[in-house]
Amino acid sequence: MTDRTTGPPPVHPAWLPDAAFAPVGSRRVLVAPGPDAGPVGETVVAELRRATAAHGGTLTVVDAAGPRLDDATVRAHDLVLVVAPRAGGPGQRRYPDAHPTAYLVAAATAGRYDGETGGQFAPDMVRRVRVGGTTVVAAGGAVGLLYGLHGVVRLGERAFQADDGDHLERPLTPVRMLDHWDNIDVHPVMGQVERGYAGGSIFYADGRVRDDLSRVADYARLLGSIGVNAVAINNVNVHATEARLLTDGLADVARVADVFRPHGVRTYLSVSFGSPMRLGGLATNDPLDPDVQAWWAATADRVWATIPDFGGFVVKADSEGQPGPFAYGRDHADGANLLARAVAPHGGTVFWRAFVYNHEQDWRDRRTDRARAAYDHFAPLDGRFDDNVVLQVKYGPLDFQVREAVSPVIAAMPRTRVAVELQVTQEYTGHQKHVCYLGPLWSDVLGFPLAEDATRTVADIASGLPGPRTPEGAQLRAGGITAVSNVGDDEFWTGHPLAQANLYAYGRLAWDPSADPVALLDEWLDLTFPGADPRVRETLHAFMDDSWLTYEKYTAPLGVCFMVDPLRGHYGPNVDGYEYSKWGTYHFADRDGIGVDRTVATGTGFTGQYPAPWDAVYEDLATCPDELLLFFHHVPYQHVLKSGTTVIQHIYDTRADAVDVVESWVPRWEALRGLVDDRLHARVAERLAEQVRSATEWRDQVRTYFFRKSGVPDASGRPIY
């Protein structure tokens, strides 16, 4: 990473410290990026050159136009990385128009594979095999070579051990995006990074794009290493200055794109639906108005003329005050297709957010349900969106809660490309002041069998796959996986050093949603703390494996959601903070019970938006999972859960037990003093102290609130105030 020896402390290398490259850099390496390597191929060579220089290995770079190497020379290397769009086995169809570096596949694998046979590899497809003493990575293109290199770095010494078979990989989804909610101008309420908990923006300072983008280059390197291939660089709530990135600021956007490009990352912009009036001086934003259509087409032409590999637009419309097509009597298919047709000639994509609801709700109205809104708006439009529109759907129907049901919209749009939106920044999970490893939450969501009689997962829908993952399988109407970034200009990137694991796990799960989140945590630990004392791994697993569930246990219970403090940006407890507000985020606790009745029979009818069997599962109190009980049902405090305890006693017990767990982390972390970097140790210790304080406040407020509501004492006799 960039070394800053003067001024602020050096930026933490996250999971790419030089030591993590020692197993690769200490060996004899050959790389053949091919004649079309471009800037990504140059990045692969630069990474290998840096690693071998640091760790005593050697590097051979094969020039595709140079003389062929003989087999013995190739096999003399410990690691061979080669761009070869084919890598088939003996007996497969041979293609005479072989790629210039494809011959190296047969040489490196002693004939097990041949770069002139087999099916065509996609550019991001990677085959890794070890034959004899050589580890071979063959990739369909330069970006696949980058992914293959980092796959070897993650394996470390294991990549150079006994032959371990054939590994064929490619990302499940074509777009793996991070949305930055960064503002150029510091917002008076939200600050520079909306829902940002790690300092200011890495892109902007002093009201403009930074002159020095070296920190962005470091970030791009991190993203390329985990397979993230798209970044939207400004807030979805597009304010006046940020809107001008689309016009006056294009040259600066191009500078950012230049920094991302060498790591296989395409640049996107969040744009305002109101841009024709705001930027173009038009009298309307009506999507059916010819002048509006012409303005967007001309704007797209300028964008792609400046940035030929620009990705496209992210749009939040008719949501929380943002302008949209409703103002003109149009629907969201009309609005999205307006932009889609403008960017289509350039191969661009429009990510259109489905986060549309009434944010001026009357709290007295028990029938209006914010959870229903996205389905009600978008399900009737299925099949009307152009093919280069991706509907970006939050994974839950409310707003990134610590526990909520999976959004039924994801299953309701079979003729529409759908991207699942996650939140890496910890808006409702502790503001990156609390240890809360979100990999298990995202794994549960992506693996949830939502559609087609519980046979098709959320990840299948996002990838367009009708069935199990196959590396060569067709990706029918793939959408992607997106998330809100948790990065700022903090020394440790994410404020809390352990929150780096969330960014890492997001990229790896977006690549392979079937990955075990605990195994991904192991990867992150091995890379971030290479060669560390085993006590470091043991301690961090003790903290992090179940930290999401621990956080849930001291905050809002059984899927009821919110209970956060609106005056502190959703940090800390305020059980009734939103109960009488306009935002539609209620728990309806009274003297008799708690929860939101979303059943068809007696409630808002939200359960009816789910496909079978989930509509029946959630409708019936007897089959509704306990962890979502209060999301779907209003129940008495003495309702008995499947665990055998009552709702009220569960609330009492889990909050108290969770604080005991968090308190136990403090001495365990203190015992690692001297075993990890001093600055990192001090930052985590500071955050743990705050987590204990906040968790204690959550425990005491929630337990006391429900005792005062219900009048039911805690059977354990623990203090209630």
CB 137 within 8 A of CB 128: yes
- The fold of 552-596+634-710 is Alpha-d-glucuronidase, C-terminal Domain (3.90.1330)
User: What pLDDT was estimated at residue 120?
Assistant: 85
Place of tokens 């790690």: 198
CATH class belonging to 176-528: alpha beta
User: What pLDDT was estimated at residue 155?
Assistant: 96
Q: Which residue has the higher pLDDT, 215 or 113?
A: 215
User: What pLDDT was estimated at residue 360?
Assistant: 94
Neighbouring CB atoms inside 10 A of 456's CB total 18
Sign of CA dihedral 139, 141, 143, 146: positive
- The fold of 18-169 is Chitobiase; domain 2 (3.30.379)
User: What pLDDT was estimated at residue 92?
Assistant: 80
SS (H, E, C) 387-414: CCEEEEEECCCCCCCCCCCCCHHHHCCC
DSSP state of 306: H
User: What pLDDT was estimated at residue 307?
Assistant: 98
Nearest-Å Rg of the Cα atoms of the chain is 26
In the predicted structure, residue 482 carries a pLDDT above the cut 70? yes
Structure tokens at 186: 């510091």
**What whole-number distance in Å separates Cα of residue 324 and Cα of residue 276?**
12
Structure tokens at 249: 């600021």
The stretch 272-282 carries a mean pLDDT of 98
Dihedral of the alpha carbons of 581, 583, 587, 591, in degrees to the nearest 10: 20
- Using omega within 30 degrees of 0 as the cis cutoff, is the peptide bond preceding 325 cis? no
User: What pLDDT was estimated at residue 4?
Assistant: 39
- Phi-psi bin for 25: left (phi > 0), alpha (psi -120 to 50), beta? alpha
Can 176-528 and 552-596+634-710 be said to share one CATH topology? no
Structure tokens at 155: 């394996």
- Reported confidence tier of residue 7, pLDDT bands at 50, 70, 90: low
In 3-state terms, what secondary structure has residue 28? strand
Active site residues: 320, 399, 427
Structure tokens at 589: 């606790």
In 3-state terms, what secondary structure has residue 226? helix
Structure tokens at 474: 């067709």
Partners of 349 in beta bridges: 312
**What whole-number distance in Å separates Cα of residue 227 and Cα of residue 222?**
9
**What whole-number distance in Å separates Cα of residue 399 and Cα of residue 345?**
34
- Reported confidence tier of residue 89, pLDDT bands at 50, 70, 90: confident
User: What pLDDT was estimated at residue 328?
Assistant: 98
Q: Each residue of 126-178: pLDDT tens digit?
A: 999 999 899 999 999 999 999 999 999 999 999 999 876 789 999 999 999 99
Phi, psi (rounded to 5 degrees) for 430: 105, 10
In the predicted structure, residue 1 carries a pLDDT above the cut 60? no
Give alpha helix (H) positions in 96-249. 103-108, 142-155, 214-226, 240-243
User: What pLDDT was estimated at residue 86?
Assistant: 82
**What whole-number distance in Å separates Cα of residue 51 and Cα of residue 426?**
34
Percent of the chain at pLDDT > 90 equals 90
Q: Each residue of 368-410: pLDDT tens digit?
A: 999 999 999 999 999 999 999 999 999 999 999 999 999 999 9
Structure tokens at 385: 């969106």
DSSP state of 330: -
User: What pLDDT was estimated at residue 5?
Assistant: 39
Average per-residue pLDDT for the chain: 95
Q: Each residue of 512-524: pLDDT tens digit?
A: 999 999 999 999 9
Domain positions in the chain = 18-169, 176-528, 552-596+634-710
**What whole-number distance in Å separates Cα of residue 55 and Cα of residue 371?**
54
Q: Each residue of 626-678: pLDDT tens digit?
A: 999 999 999 999 999 999 999 999 999 999 999 999 999 999 999 999 999 99
